[in-house]
Amino acid sequence: SNAGRVADIHHLLPESGLHIVAEHFQKVDHQLLAPPEATLETIRTVHSHVQALSQCRRFVRAAGLKPVVHADTAGAAAEVAGRGDPTEAAIASRLAGEIYGLQILKSDIQDAPHNVTRFLVMAADPIHPDPDDGPVVTTFVFRVRSVPAALYKALGGFATNGVNLTKLESYILDGRFTVAQFYADIEGHPDHRMVRLALEELSFFSREVRILGVYPAHPFRRTPADPEGQGEG
């Protein structure tokens, strides 16, 4: 989403033993929920997941509310409903409001009206999509060798072979700044000649390359970019 990826997800994915088999893009719509007695004037704190709070940062600041982080948005709504304190509100979905009997004090408070969250669908067994049956995404992690310009050289094959790299993120392993792992998404199937050549070059300059999944690209990827920005997490 426009608040970035969910923390720690890239640490969990490679060690989960699962494979990515699909992706889903979900439009983000956040509501300000509160007990029936509350008003915009009575609330002082707002409870939600850190991602939702980040996605509604402008509203939270403008309203002068104190953010309180929870494990998830629905859980925050449940706790606010349970206490029934008119000084507390939650940022969550309309469905959460209906389930827990909370009123919507303000609708669609997210900063970016066209923001989306990208979800990955995991399974115990990988899938093997036909390389010629529509757009495909390949997701992998890799560690480069400890040599000068290693990352530049490792990624050079994607440029020279015309393979589109749509996502690249680095994160530190075990708290050591000398060991970094990279997470990447590319357009294309490993059976495509250009992708195969790019991955071979990546492997040559890397200590390890591990493919996490090869799966059909979601139709949202073909949606023209909105000028206000659409993110993924």
| Main-chain dihedrals φ then ψ at residue 19, nearest 5 degrees | -125, 145
According to CATH, the topology of domain 29-111 is D-Maltodextrin-Binding Protein; domain 2 (3.40.190)
Summarize pLDDT for 69-105 with one digit per residue, the tens.
Answer: 999 999 999 999 999 999 999 999 999 999 999 999 9
Summarize pLDDT for 8-54 with one digit per residue, the tens.
Answer: 666 677 778 899 999 999 888 999 999 999 999 999 999 999 999 99
Summarize pLDDT for 115-174 with one digit per residue, the tens.
Answer: 888 899 999 999 999 999 999 999 999 998 777 888 999 999 999 999 999 999 988 776
Q: Write out the catalytic residue numbers.
A: 117, 119
CATH class, domain 9-24+118-222, is alpha beta
Intrachain domains 9-24+118-222 and 29-111 with the same fold = no
pTM to 2 decimals? 0.78
- Residue 170: strand pairing partners: 182
From CA 140, how far away is CA 144, in angstroms rounded? Answer: 13
Domain ranges of the chain: 9-24+118-222, 29-111
pLDDT score of 148 = 82
Judge whether residue 233 has pLDDT over 50: no
From CA 93, how far away is CA 108, in angstroms rounded? Answer: 9
Amino acid at 77: A
Share of the chain above pLDDT 70, in %: 88
Identify the H or E element spanning 202. helix 193-204
- Give the distance, in angstroms, between the CA of residue 231 and the centroid of all CA atoms in the same chain: 8
pLDDT band at 226 (very low <50, low <70, confident <90, very high): very low
